[in-house]
Chains A and B, each alone.
Chain A
Amino acid sequence: MNGGRGSPDRTPSPRADACVIGSGPAGALVAHRLASRGYNVVVLEAGPRFDPDSRTDRMERAIRPGDARSVWDGGGERDAFSSSGERFYPLNAARVKGVGGSTLHWQGMVMRLHESDFRRASRGEGDADWPVDYDDLRPYYVAAEEALGVAGSDDNPFGPPREEPFPLPPFPPSHSDSLFAPACERLGIAMHSVPNARNSEAYDGRSACVGYGTCQPVCPSGAKYSADVHVRKAEREGARMIDRAPVGRLATGRGGDRVEAAVYATPDGTEHRQEARQFVVACGGVETPRLLLLSENDDHPDGLANGSGLVGRYFMDHLFAGVFGTLDRPTRQNHVGFLTSETHQFYDAPGRAVEGPDGVAVPASDADLAPFKLEFFNYAGPSPVDLALSADEWGDDLLASLRDAYGNHVGVGGLVAQRPRRENRVTLDPSRTDDHGNPVPDIQWSLDARARRTIERANAVQRAILAEMGAEIGGAVGPTDTGPAFHHMGTTRMGTDPDESVVNPRLRTHEVANLTVASSSVFVTGGAMNPTLTIAALALKAADHVAADL
């Protein structure tokens, strides 16, 4: 036993078929699929296993100011990072280290990439196509939707073709959506439902959503999918989960063409080696390249599987664009913390004109623009309880202020795609180390003119919608103050040419025979769709390939 009396056993398993590093959605799904096929699986997770009963307390932390503890116990020396790029990258704002990973925090929006996303270079929009296409991923998308329990409706006229209904019925549109609908109809903008990894009815042993309204950063009811679900399923199939076991490096054998062991530390400071036949790195778009870079050795002097020099390069995120305003009537915001309507109408036609009853609201553009999608907010404006807890008045004065501040806000948000660029990258910062003495990740991130231009374009459409509703525009998030959606992608890109990519279409690294990457880091382009469903689909695909080799 390791770690002293009462501590869980964190010593390595003597015989493992597969070692999975990371227990977010990718790692959890890989572990479950392999374990359910009878393989001996060990999962190494840097963070802790959270008690599900602690989630309500974490929700209170999220709502109430004054508690220095982060909702999911992140930050500190363990999660230290640098951001030396043109724009500061707030890495810890939305990531969770622990069993379930950042799905504990996420919003839970799960769209498939569009067919065009796999062919951006062929469309003249990027430097590379994906080496797989939509049809290759299609069966895995179906399986991923079933695994996560996606509530949705096949009502998106702009989405990719589907073959089966969603596992769960969609969340019906909100009252707020009904305020947008007439204006959008007059402008020729089609609204449609949002696929949610959130139970619209009981599913897979988890309850239906009960409306806490705090989906991001925590769902106390467990109705929102989080990857700890599949960790538990994997464990029931015989997989072994070792938490608080950060992997510091992957050690290769003679010749460097196979990983022999994942070298990890336990809370008491002991270093262990987990050996396995196959290794799957599933640590997201930042920690995955970091681990490969930390694993440099004589055979891999620039980092493991980094003969191309591309490990860490082409870091991408989605950029937020939004316009907000107020109406002269109640809009019923903040009852729930999720979205029920959006539009993908501009995704493959970002320059299309918007025309309304009074003429052209947004002229057509032939400028080079990126895909973007628009989201109709159900939580625009302040939440009364948030306001109350930070107010400097109380009693009747406070109530009057709350009534004045709440009730008539509207907002249209959106995500804008970012083209892969070599200079956007994750490297190691040798000047700064984490709690185990390993150099921290340095995120170098910037926006190009195309992204800025597209954010302006999204803002123009958003303003046109609010104007058509008769809203008084109150503010906008544009190119200057945009921020990331915390969708880390692209740092171990997939491809067929070992000089131009890190992993092959089987998600196996070109240079290390038993090393697979299951992560958004393999994305060649990121589109403007929330990435987790594609992460899940790729993870299931990766698991099939690993199983075939075991």
Chain B
Amino acid sequence: MELTRRDALAALAGAGILGSGGAAALARERADADGPGRSESGQPNQSRSEQPDLPSTAAVVETLVAVAGVVYPSAVDGVREFVETFARRRLEADPEHRRGAREAVADLDAHVVISFDAERFRDLDPELREEALSLVGTRTAEPARDGTAAERVRYYLVNDLLFALYSSPTGGRLVGIENPQGHSGGIESYRRGPDG
């Protein structure tokens, strides 16, 4: 099932990004797409707006795409575009959330350095990413904004992705509910039967 731009916008609306200051965020999105911070070579870029010792917004987005490869079901397509659209705008629009996500990526990467022959989670081979997330303790951790590393990885990375997917129309339809909680899908679907 294809995740669409509409799904990403729905997820953004569910996260309070669109509709209140969202337009400005959208305008800045592209400018930030290659964002400051750590470059792809791994060398940190200096920025007035981003702390150089934390991964950049772009790095967070790339990490989220990599995490989505683990936590999203194989039945969905278009994951990269969905995650990029959702995550970039969300991180841009919510500085507090962005900082939490950057710290979570830094924590995740730090664990990867210890346990794997890699510098960053997103550099791991896809088959190792699930093992890495499990080693951090993310699978069983309670999500917590201000918790341990595992709890924050669960909150800012895994659950950000799961919330975006399963509160979107396509994610809901995977389970059998085209208007899932958190999505403003109107007041017709509740009246329809399963074949409607």
Write the residues of chain A forming the contact surface with B, with a CB cutoff of 8 angstroms.
53-57, 59-60, 63-68, 171-176, 178, 200, 208-214, 220-221, 329-330, 332, 334-337, 340, 378, 383-386, 388-389, 392-396, 398-399, 402-403, 406-407
Task: Report the Cα distance A115→B193, complex, angstroms.
Answer: 38
Q: Which of A212, A385, A388 has the most CB of B within 10 A?
A: A385
Q: Which residues of A contact B16 (CB under 8 A)?
A: 53-57, 59-60, 220
Residue of A with least CB distance to B16: A56
A395 contacts which of B74, B146, B174, B180 (Cβ < 8 Å)? B74
Residues A389 and B190 in contact, CB atoms below 8 Å apart = no
Residues A402 and B13 in contact, CB atoms below 8 Å apart = no
Residues B159 and A386 in contact, CB atoms below 8 Å apart = no
User: Would you list which residues of chain B between 75 and 133 have a CB under 8 Å from chain A?
Assistant: 75, 130
Residues A389 and B191 in contact, CB atoms below 8 Å apart = no
B139 contacts which of A57, A175, A393 (Cβ < 8 Å)? A393
Query: Known contacts A65-B143, A213-B179; is A332 also within 8 Å of B71 by CB?
Result: no
Query: Known contacts A174-B191, A396-B73; is A66 also within 8 Å of B147 by CB?
Result: yes
Report the interface size class on chain B. 35 or more
B29 to chain A, nearest CB (A): 19
Q: Which residues of A contact B70 (CB under 8 A)?
A: 394-395
Return 11 A-B CB contacts under 8 Å, by A number.
A59-B182, A64-B163, A211-B184, A212-B181, A329-B194, A332-B189, A336-B187, A337-B181, A385-B172, A389-B159, A403-B174
Task: Report the Cα distance A53→B185, complex, angstroms.
Answer: 19
Q: Does B158 contact A (CB under 8 A)?
A: yes
Residue of B with least CB distance to A51: B20
B146 to chain A, nearest CB (A): 7
Query: Known contacts A56-B15, A59-B182, A385-B163; is A66 also within 8 Å of B190 by CB?
Result: no
Q: Which residues of A contact B186 (CB under 8 A)?
A: 210-211
Residues A66 and B71 in contact, CB atoms below 8 Å apart = no
Residues A399 and B192 in contact, CB atoms below 8 Å apart = no
Q: Mark B5-33, 1 if CB is under 8 A from A, else 0.
A: 00000000111100111000000000000
Task: Report the Cα distance A221→B14, complex, angstroms.
Answer: 11
Residues B145 and A396 in contact, CB atoms below 8 Å apart = no
Q: Which residues of B contact A399 (CB under 8 A)?
A: 73, 75, 174-175
Task: Report the Cα distance A55→B75, complex, angstroms.
Answer: 32
Residues A64 and B159 in contact, CB atoms below 8 Å apart = yes
Residues A332 and B74 in contact, CB atoms below 8 Å apart = no
A73 to chain B, nearest CB (A): 15
Task: Report the Cα distance A407→B178, complex, angstroms.
Answer: 12
Q: Which residues of A contact B165 (CB under 8 A)?
A: 388
Query: Known contacts A175-B190, A395-B70; is A66 also within 8 Å of B14 by CB?
Result: no
A391 to chain B, nearest CB (A): 8
Query: Known contacts A63-B167, A66-B144, A332-B194; is A395 also within 8 Å of B182 by CB?
Result: no
Task: Report the Cα distance A387→B75, complex, angstroms.
Answer: 18
Residues B187 and A171 in contact, CB atoms below 8 Å apart = yes
Residues B14 and A395 in contact, CB atoms below 8 Å apart = no
Q: Which residues of A contact B167 (CB under 8 A)?
A: 63, 385
Task: Report the Cα distance A173→B175, complex, angstroms.
Answer: 23
A35 to chain B, nearest CB (A): 29
Task: Report the Cα distance A336→B185, complex, angstroms.
Answer: 9
A334 contacts which of B146, B159, B163, B181 (Cβ < 8 Å)? B181
